[in-house]
Amino acid sequence: MAKAHRKTIDTILIFLGSVTALALLVAGGIMWWGSNFVNDQVTTELKSQKIKFPPAGSPALTPDKYPDLQQYAGQTVDTGEKARAYANGYINRHLEEVAGGKTYAEVSTAALQEKENTALQAQKQSLFMGETLRGLLLNAYAFGTLASLLKYGAIASFIAAITMGVLVLLGFRRLSK
């Protein structure tokens, strides 16, 4: 009786293990596809913008002001990481110079009160465009990071599915004895 009961338990565990392995494979496949989709979207959209870092040795990318960006000199912004570097390392430094470090919100508030001040209006426009582009590039970085996380999740799911598959095979071996 105990042996028959043990066989029933083994059969149930094998079934549950098989279902789990299959679910992990499906989840891994979906995450892998999602990672590739998001990564392709980020790359395609960034490439279509044709944003490039200034070339090496350019006065627009001096090593003393932009030491962290020298590795990207002359490259197209086509990955989430490059988008982050361009947004925070290049655009943000320019924005800090537009109005003495003030943000668009601060300058816009002042510009509403001084509508005839053309310099302030120009600063407002420059900050708006720069902060908008910076925000869009940081969104590309966020989605690029999401693509990486999905890929790592897919790999973990595949490893877990293989582990469950091995356990199921061991269960079949035990059941056949």
**pLDDT tens-place string over residues 125-155:** 999 999 999 999 999 999 999 999 999 999 9
**Residue 76 three-state SS:** strand
Q: What is the number of other CB atoms lying within 10 angstroms of the CB of residue 45?
A: 15
Angstrom distance (rounded) from CA 153 to CA 139: 21
pTM assigned to the model: 0.83
Tens digits of per-residue pLDDT, 64-109? 999 999 999 999 999 999 999 999 999 999 999 998 889 999 999 9
